[in-house]
Amino acid sequence: GGCECFEGFAGERCEMCSAGEYGECDMKSRCNATVTCSDHGRCMGDGSCECLDGYMGEFCDICPDGSYGPDCRTAECSWDTTCSQNGRCLDDGSCACFEGFGGVKCDICEGNLQGDECEAMCDSNVTCSMNGRCLSDTRCECFEENAGAACEECSPGRYGESCTDPEDFCRWDTTCAGHG
């Protein structure tokens, strides 16, 4: 005594639709677990998806908060190790680096920045125009004959290309207008 079901029906008493059918069991299902349910769920009799644990959405293609990617992996990120204390963790497990830092782990200084804090560093030849020495990361101490924040000017009483010539009372280019 079992039932012999009509086309489209299945079950001991023909109480459900056969595989691939839905609705009144007279319509072919347009649901395909691999495609429709993103391979993260199974097709139901009405053509909808029933998602596996860890997946959400009409097509089982949405990850719950705290997970990311095609496999809905749990984001394993910490600002102190993953982001080297130089960035913050994003929902997808990657780092958003603080200003001045770059790289996947925020462990590289961007541009011309240097040091543990990725700051502008003083270079006597560049920052101090080769006319002084660095006092700190960005400040210069100019040689006696030079002045200015970057030692780019001559000190009062000095002139010439290297600011080493003492200023005369009569300078040919100013006092005598360059004509005497």
Query: In the chain, what are the domains?
Result: 1-62 (2.10.25), 63-121 (no CATH), 122-180 (no CATH)
Residues 132, 125: contact at Cβ < 8 Å?
Answer: no
DSSP 11: S
pLDDT at 137: 65
pLDDT reported for residue 124 = 72
Across the strands, what pairs with 16? 10
**Per-residue confidence (pLDDT) for residue 25, from 0 to 100:** 65
Q: What is the mean pLDDT of the chain?
A: 79
Instruction: Count Cβ atoms within 10 A of the Cβ of residue 20 and give its class: 0-12 exposed, 13-18 middle, 19 or more buried.
Output: middle
For the chain, which residues score pLDDT lower than 70? 1, 19-33, 65-66, 75, 136-138, 167-180
Phi/psi zone of residue 52: left (φ > 0), alpha (ψ -120 to 50 degrees), beta?
A: beta
Confidence (pLDDT) at 106? 94
The pLDDT tens digits of the residues spanning 143-177 come to 999 999 888 999 988 888 888 777 664 555 555 55
Question: pTM of this prediction?
Answer: 0.37
pLDDT on residue 97: 93
Other C-beta atoms lying within 10 Å of the C-beta of residue 24: 9
Which pLDDT belongs to residue 169?
A: 46
User: CB count, 10 Å around CB of 124?
Assistant: 15
Strand partners of residue 42: 50
Distance between CA atoms of residues 11 and 5, nearest Å: 8
What does the alpha-carbon distance between residue 138 and residue 141 come to, in Å, rounded to a whole number? 10
